[in-house]
Amino acid sequence: MTQSDNTKLATVEEDNQQRSFVAMRRKVLGALAIGVVASACSSTEDALETANSQIPGTSSPSTSAGTSSTAQAVVNATGPELDLVNLPVSADPATVPLVVGSDTQGAAGAQGAPASSSNATAQSSASGSTATGASAAASDGDVMTVTDTAAQPAANADAGTAMTSEDTIVAGAGGSGTVDASSSAAPVDTTPAAPATPVTPKPSAAPDVLLANRVTFGVTPAVLAEISRLGGGGFIEDQLRRTGPDSAVEKRLGSYNLLRLNSKQVFEATRGSGKLAPFFQQMTHSNIIRATYSKNQLFENMCHLWMDHFNAGVIAEGGKRYHMVEYQEKVIRPNAMGSFRDLLKATANAPAMLVYLDNDDSNANSPQGVNENYGRELLELHTLGIDRSGKQVYTEADVRSASLAMSGWSVAKRRKDANFGQFVFNSKFHHTGGISLLNGAWTRGGTSGKATGESLLSFLATHPSTARHVAYKICRRFVSDSPSEALVNSTAAVFLQNDTQIVPTLRHVLNSAEFAASAGMKIRRPFEHMVATFRALNANLPNDPGSKGANRLRATLRSMDHEPWYWPQPDGYPDAAADWLTTDGISNRWTTAALTARNKIPDITMSYDSFKPSSGTVGDLINGLSQRFGIGAPTPAIASAIATATRLEVGTAAASLSNEQLADVIALVIAHPIFQTR
């Protein structure tokens, strides 16, 4: 038999194993899946009751130094877990004792606040028995001491502390002739900034698992232990102060050379046949690595929110992809936790956005006239928005006015120019006449040239409609597909009170009563489900973005329509359950999780040692895994079905399982429909 024949035989055998496992999995859970997931993501109270009864309870973080009964069940059933966040950068990662911050198991009470009328009071409060931390300004090694466990109502709309942030200018080198290029930007400082003044954590009524699922990309024992140590409010503050990339993870990406290049350099590096592959590989795999391993999980979540809000789909369009590296690395990421005003200006200066929406060729003084694509999306998607009833404050005339104000914002296109691929302001393309918006609420006044567009952007960033639009996006991302008007309005108020700063806006949402009561209201999109699986299984991902395993992940995400930056329309990937709850979609997510659990994806490994039970039964193992994965205690029927599907008895000694049997149990537990929710 030839080597080729051996390879084909191995492939066939792997495919047969996969089909066999998929068939087993579907037999056990297939009939249950769609209904439970749909119920878990429904906005109605009745539909949520079943799903939320399986989510860990709402009691306050434990103030005891010991391990709760729930946590002990997980430890007994699954053994210690390697510290997930240290795995990529340490050859000998320390083990982390699992401490879950709740001693009781109960319903999460996940019904949303009733929708209010548009003139509802813009307030949201949270109360419950919680622990408070002494300070949120602790360093990585500091412990936020728990001082009180008494019930304590949280304050209403928190104005927070406005954080200072410098403008991030995305610009090229100086130009010549009639095209004036902006000056070069200073290197971006990605060091996480602490709040201007220490912020005392608010008591959080949110269940530990809910915080872990929404603030991070997925539950791990290490994250639950951190929530228990800091208290819910302390954990929120710790994540809010992490306003930049995790330096340890960025060090892991040190060989990703394209991520450090400007547009011209990326163009030259990827020009020619067969040279584009590293671009796709590094762009996608860097997002997977960061989301999986970064300690700065809220920051990474916000990067993905803004990637959708300010989507620039030139990758999907098939042209001028080389702009996307700078757009991700120097526009979206440095501004993800700063001010919305700075982020809006950075995207408006970004060649990727200007090229994608045709503003680079928009010549207000040509026979064709101004191109309205960017002006329209600037108002409709980036700022003022269209509310849930379909109303908007701007008119078609306003779209044209915005387009005129932004005319001349262009990109250097001559490849021989030193500033090729960078922003330039082309005065010959710019409209010099009068311009006004929203019935004269904004006019160009005494401004001219590029300053006119900058004036418009500042006006739009602080407009009440923009505040509501951005608040809705954030609330939809972190609370539910249909957040209440009261929460959106109160969040918009905090946004404006803090001059569009994102950190105090997030603080208000994450400390709200509606957030605390939102368990089961959000679905995991394919990218999020993949990353949550890797985090839950403590998977070791390949660092090489061109490895077979990394390419398999990229192909899988593309097949599930959720590869980063591949959404072709300017509105970004959908963020509602209805767009992702399909039979094929859920089955594909299951398959990826099952193959990961069975070490069947090339170059991706998980150690069964961290899941090996030292005592207890298969039933205890299933219970421990379910709680470790954030699913909650399984029903006896589910536990029995999983045991039966793996040809085991619930009462079998778990320590006797082979790695293959353990892998089957893990894969079936993580296939539970509740794991599809965040």
DSSP string computed for 110-128 = --PPPP--TTS-------S
Could you tell me which residues come within 8 angstroms of residue 32 by beta carbon, excluding any fewer than 6 positions away? 673
- Check whether 21 has a pLDDT greater than 60: no
Tokens matching residue 567? 């959404």
Could you tell me which residues come within 8 angstroms of residue 3 by beta carbon, excluding any fewer than 6 positions away? none
Q: Lowest-confidence range among 4-18, 232-246, 421-435, 500-514?
A: 4-18
Q: Residue 100's closest CA among 202, 210, 217, 238?
A: 210
Q: Residue 565's closest CA among 257, 266, 332, 218?
A: 332
pTM of the model: 0.76
Q: Are the C-beta atoms of residues 263 and 178 closer than 8 Å to each other?
A: no
Q: What is the pLDDT of residue 170?
A: 27
Q: What is the pLDDT of residue 200?
A: 85
What average pLDDT does the structure give for the chain? 79
DSSP 330: I
| Predicted confidence (pLDDT) per residue in 83-129, tens digit | 333 333 323 323 323 222 233 333 333 333 333 333 333 333 333 33
Please indicate whether residue 137 or residue 540 has the higher confidence score (pLDDT).
540
Highest mean pLDDT (candidates 38-47, 94-103, 494-503): 494-503
pLDDT band at 196 (very low <50, low <70, confident <90, very high): low
What are the distances in angstroms from CA 54 to CA 228, 488, 537? Answer: 20, 28, 20
Q: For residue 93, list its beta bridge partners.
A: none
Q: What are phi and psi of 24, to 5 degrees?
A: -65, -45
The rounded percent of the chain whose pLDDT value lies above 90 is 65
What are the distances in angstroms from CA 521 to CA 48, 294, 517? Answer: 8, 25, 9
Q: How many CA atoms lie within 13 A of 230 on its CB side?
A: 29
Instruction: Tell which phi-psi region holds residue 459, choosing left (phi > 0), alpha (psi between -120 and 50) or beta.
Output: alpha
Q: Are the C-beta atoms of residues 500 and 341 closer than 8 Å to each other?
A: yes
| Predicted confidence (pLDDT) per residue in 326-374, tens digit | 999 999 999 999 999 999 999 999 999 999 999 999 999 999 999 999 9
Cα(28)–Cα(673) distance, integer angstroms: 12
Q: What is the pLDDT of residue 506?
A: 98
Cα(285)–Cα(563) distance, integer angstroms: 10
Cα(75)–Cα(614) distance, integer angstroms: 9
- Which residue stretches of 128-262 are H helix? 208-215, 221-240, 247-252
Cα(670)–Cα(10) distance, integer angstroms: 26
Could you tell me which residues come within 8 angstroms of residue 366 by beta carbon, excluding any fewer than 6 positions away? 429
Q: Are the C-beta atoms of residues 452 and 375 closer than 8 Å to each other?
A: no
Q: Lowest-confidence range among 16-20, 56-60, 644-648?
A: 56-60
Q: What is the pLDDT of residue 15?
A: 53
| Three-state DSSP class for residue 32 | helix
Please indicate whether residue 17 or residue 137 has the higher confidence score (pLDDT).
17
Tokens matching residue 497? 């009170």
| Three-state DSSP class for residue 481 | coil
Cα(428)–Cα(449) distance, integer angstroms: 10
Alpha-carbon 641 to chain mean position: 33
Mean pLDDT of 372-377: 98
Q: What are phi and psi of 653, to 5 degrees?
A: -65, 120
Q: Are the C-beta atoms of residues 118 and 485 closer than 8 Å to each other?
A: yes
Q: What is the pLDDT of residue 656?
A: 95
pLDDT band at 592 (very low <50, low <70, confident <90, very high): very high
Could you tell me which residues come within 8 angstroms of residue 660 by beta carbon, excluding any fewer than 6 positions away? 598
What are the distances in angstroms from CA 428 to CA 357, 360, 369? Answer: 19, 12, 13
Q: What is the pLDDT of residue 89?
A: 30
pLDDT band at 518 (very low <50, low <70, confident <90, very high): very high
Cα(373)–Cα(379) distance, integer angstroms: 10
The domain ranges of the chain are 179-516
Mean pLDDT of 569-590: 93
Q: What is the pLDDT of residue 331?
A: 98
Mean pLDDT of 501-507: 98
Count of all residues that appear for the chain in the document: 678
Cα(623)–Cα(615) distance, integer angstroms: 13
Could you tell me which residues come within 8 angstroms of residue 470 by beta carbon, excluding any fewer than 6 positions away? 309, 340, 492, 495, 500, 505
Q: Are the C-beta atoms of residues 391 and 365 closer than 8 Å to each other?
A: no
Q: Hey, what amino acid is at 305?
A: L
- Check whether 194 has a pLDDT greater than 90: no
The bridge status of strand 436-437 relative to strand 442-443 is antiparallel
Q: What are phi and psi of 381, to 5 degrees?
A: -105, -40
- Check whether 458 has a pLDDT greater than 90: yes
Mean pLDDT of 22-27: 48
| Three-state DSSP class for residue 456 | helix
Q: For residue 492, list its beta bridge partners.
A: none
Mean pLDDT of 459-479: 98
What are the distances in angstroms from CA 664 to CA 530, 595, 608, 671? Answer: 18, 10, 12, 11
Could you tell me which residues come within 8 angstroms of residue 569 by beta carbon, excluding any fewer than 6 positions away? 311, 313
Tokens matching residue 248? 């340890």
Cα(448)–Cα(427) distance, integer angstroms: 10
Q: What is the pLDDT of residue 202?
A: 81
Q: What is the pLDDT of residue 464?
A: 98
pLDDT band at 203 (very low <50, low <70, confident <90, very high): confident
Alpha-carbon 485 to chain mean position: 23
